[in-house]
Chains A and B, each alone.
Chain A
Amino acid sequence: MLKEKLQEIKDSNTNLYQHLNNVLTKILLDNPKNAFELFEDYSFQVKSSGFSFDKYNEFDNAERTKISMDQAIQQKTLKLVNKINLGTDEEPQEATQTGYLPNLTEEAYLYEWAGIGIDENYKIFKALSLLSVTKQASKLRFWGKIMAREKDYYIAEGVANSQVEDGELPPEVEPRGSGVNTKSYWACTDILNDKDWVELPLITPQQINVSRQIKYMFTGNLEADVITNPYFFGKEKHLLKAQIVRITQSTVRIPKGQYILREGDPREIDQTPEYKLPGFHELKTLNDWMHFNTNILNCGRLVHLIPSELPDGVEPDIYQKQIEAADPFENRLKQLSNDKLPNNKPAWKIRIVGDTTDYNPLAKDTNNKVNNGVIIIKSLVWPGLVTVYSNKVLSQLYYGYGFKATTNHFYPKQPQQVQTEQPDLPEQPEPNFPAEVPQQQQD
Chain B
Amino acid sequence: MEIYRIPEDLRFVNQIGQTLSAEEKIKLEIALIKLGQTQTFDQLLFWGRIEGTVANYYIAIGLNFKNNFEFPHKTFFYTANLKEFQNLPPLNPEYKEQVETFRQLFSGQPEKILINITGEDGDQPPADQPNPDEPQQVVKNDDDSDVEIKPPPKNFLEVDRLAYVVNAIEFECALLPVGAVRLTPTHELRYNDSFEGLNLQEASKISNYQHFRAPQSANKKALIAQDDALFHYDFFDQLDDHPVGQWSLQTDSSKYQVTIRNLQWPGFLGYHRAGTRIFGYAYFGDGIKNVDLAFQL
Residue on B nearest A109 in the bound complex, by CB: B22
- In the complex, chain A residues whose CB is within 8 Å of the CB of B197: 65
Cα distance A70–B194 when bound, in Å? 25
* B171 CB, min distance to chain A CBs, angstroms: 22
Query: Residues 368-396 of chain A: 1 if any B CB is under 8 Å from the residue's CB, otherwise 0?
Result: 00000000000010011000000000000
- In the complex, chain A residues whose CB is within 8 Å of the CB of B190: 37
Asked if A115 lies at the interface with its beta carbon under 8 angstroms from chain B, I say yes
* B55 CB, min distance to chain A CBs, angstroms: 9
- Residues of chain A in range 400-436 having any CB-CB distance to chain B below 8 Å: 400-401, 406-412
Binds B, one of A117-125, A132-140, A167-175, A271-279: A117-125
Cα distance A380–B193 when bound, in Å? 44
- In the complex, chain B residues whose CB is within 8 Å of the CB of A17: none
* A146 CB, min distance to chain B CBs, angstroms: 10
Residue on A nearest B104 in the bound complex, by CB: A407
* A435 CB, min distance to chain B CBs, angstroms: 68
- In the complex, chain A residues whose CB is within 8 Å of the CB of B254: 69, 73, 77
Contact check, A77 vs B53: say whether CB atoms are below 8 A apart. no
- In the complex, chain A residues whose CB is within 8 Å of the CB of B124: none
Contact check, B275 vs A67: say whether CB atoms are below 8 A apart. yes
Residue on B nearest A386 in the bound complex, by CB: B17
Residue on A nearest B274 in the bound complex, by CB: A65
Contact check, A40 vs B104: say whether CB atoms are below 8 A apart. no
Binds A, one of B7-15, B32-40, B146-154: B7-15
Contact check, A407 vs B297: say whether CB atoms are below 8 A apart. no
Main secondary structure of the interface of B (DSSP, over half): loop
- In the complex, chain A residues whose CB is within 8 Å of the CB of B53: 345-346, 349, 380
Cα distance A66–B199 when bound, in Å? 10
Asked if A50 lies at the interface with its beta carbon under 8 angstroms from chain B, I say no
Query: Residues 254-297 of chain B: 1 if any A CB is under 8 Å from the residue's CB, otherwise 0?
Result: 11100001010010000000011000000000100001110111
Contact check, A65 vs B275: say whether CB atoms are below 8 A apart. yes
| Total B residues in contact with A, Cβ cutoff 8 Å | 49
Given contacts A401-B266, A408-B103, contact A118 B17 (CB under 8 A): yes
Contact check, B253 vs A192: say whether CB atoms are below 8 A apart. yes
Asked if B250 lies at the interface with its beta carbon under 8 angstroms from chain A, I say yes
Contact check, A410 vs B19: say whether CB atoms are below 8 A apart. no
Residue on A nearest B52 in the bound complex, by CB: A349
Residue on B nearest A407 in the bound complex, by CB: B103
Contact check, B295 vs A412: say whether CB atoms are below 8 A apart. yes
Cα distance A118–B15 when bound, in Å? 7
Which residue of B10, B21, B22, B276 contacts A65 across the interface (Cβ within 8 Å)?
B276
Contact check, A406 vs B103: say whether CB atoms are below 8 A apart. yes
Residue on A nearest B19 in the bound complex, by CB: A117
- In the complex, chain A residues whose CB is within 8 Å of the CB of B15: 119, 152
Asked if B202 lies at the interface with its beta carbon under 8 angstroms from chain A, I say no
Contact check, B253 vs A152: say whether CB atoms are below 8 A apart. no
Contact check, B193 vs A117: say whether CB atoms are below 8 A apart. no
Asked if B240 lies at the interface with its beta carbon under 8 angstroms from chain A, I say no
* A298 CB, min distance to chain B CBs, angstroms: 24
Query: Residues 345-356 of chain A: 1 if any B CB is under 8 Å from the residue's CB, otherwise 0?
Result: 110010001100
* B165 CB, min distance to chain A CBs, angstroms: 16
Given contacts A40-B185, A119-B15, contact A345 B23 (CB under 8 A): no
Residue on A nearest B249 in the bound complex, by CB: A150
Which residue of A63, A119, A399 contacts B252 across the interface (Cβ within 8 Å)?
A119
Asked if A56 lies at the interface with its beta carbon under 8 angstroms from chain B, I say no
Residue on A nearest B20 in the bound complex, by CB: A115
* A28 CB, min distance to chain B CBs, angstroms: 18
| Total A residues in contact with B, Cβ cutoff 8 Å | 56
Contact check, B253 vs A115: say whether CB atoms are below 8 A apart. no
- Residues of chain A in range 321-371 having any CB-CB distance to chain B below 8 Å: 343, 345-346, 349, 353-354
- Residues of chain A in range 145-173 having any CB-CB distance to chain B below 8 Å: 145, 147-152
Asked if A259 lies at the interface with its beta carbon under 8 angstroms from chain B, I say no
Asked if A302 lies at the interface with its beta carbon under 8 angstroms from chain B, I say no
Query: Residues 85-112 of chain B: 1 if any A CB is under 8 Å from the residue's CB, otherwise 0?
Result: 0000000000000000001110000000
Which residue of B18, B22, B194, B296 contacts A215 across the interface (Cβ within 8 Å)?
B296
Residue on B nearest A408 in the bound complex, by CB: B103
Asked if B245 lies at the interface with its beta carbon under 8 angstroms from chain A, I say yes
Residue on B nearest A45 in the bound complex, by CB: B194
- In the complex, chain B residues whose CB is within 8 Å of the CB of A45: 194
Contact check, A38 vs B275: say whether CB atoms are below 8 A apart. no
Contact check, B252 vs A151: say whether CB atoms are below 8 A apart. no
Asked if A217 lies at the interface with its beta carbon under 8 angstroms from chain B, I say yes
Query: Residues 204-220 of chain A: 1 if any B CB is under 8 Å from the residue's CB, otherwise 0?
Result: 00000000000111000
Of listed B19, B53, B293, residue having the most chain A CB within 10 A = B19
Asked if B223 lies at the interface with its beta carbon under 8 angstroms from chain A, I say no
- In the complex, chain B residues whose CB is within 8 Å of the CB of A37: 184, 190
Asked if A191 lies at the interface with its beta carbon under 8 angstroms from chain B, I say yes
Residue on B nearest A378 in the bound complex, by CB: B51
Cα distance A113–B245 when bound, in Å? 33
- In the complex, chain B residues whose CB is within 8 Å of the CB of A4: none
- In the complex, chain A residues whose CB is within 8 Å of the CB of B16: 147, 399
- In the complex, chain A residues whose CB is within 8 Å of the CB of B51: 115
Cα distance A410–B290 when bound, in Å? 10
Contact check, A117 vs B292: say whether CB atoms are below 8 A apart. no
Contact check, A117 vs B10: say whether CB atoms are below 8 A apart. yes
Asked if A114 lies at the interface with its beta carbon under 8 angstroms from chain B, I say yes
* A230 CB, min distance to chain B CBs, angstroms: 13
* A371 CB, min distance to chain B CBs, angstroms: 16
Given contacts A38-B193, A73-B253, A349-B53, contact A113 B21 (CB under 8 A): yes
Contact sample, A vs B, 28 pairs, CB 8 Å cutoff: A40-B230, A41-B192, A69-B254, A69-B256, A70-B255, A77-B253, A77-B254, A113-B21, A113-B22, A115-B18, A119-B15, A145-B17, A147-B248, A148-B248, A150-B250, A191-B253, A217-B296, A343-B104, A346-B53, A349-B53, A353-B21, A353-B23, A380-B53, A399-B16, A406-B103, A407-B103, A409-B291, A411-B295
**Interface residues in chain A, defined as those with a beta carbon under 8 Å from any beta carbon in chain B:** 37-38, 40-41, 44-45, 63, 65-67, 69-70, 73, 77, 112-120, 123, 145, 147-152, 190-192, 215-217, 343, 345-346, 349, 353-354, 380, 383-384, 399-401, 406-412
Q: Which 7 A-B pairs have the closest CB atoms?
A: A117-B19, A399-B17, A117-B14, A119-B14, A217-B296, A410-B292, A113-B21
**Interface residues in chain B, defined as those with a beta carbon under 8 Å from any beta carbon in chain A:** 10-11, 13-24, 49, 51, 53, 103-105, 184-185, 190, 192-194, 196-197, 230, 245, 248, 250, 252-256, 261, 263, 266, 275-276, 286, 291-293, 295-297
Known: A116-B18, A119-B14, A215-B295. 6 other contacts (CB 8 A): A65-B275, A73-B253, A77-B254, A114-B21, A150-B250, A401-B266
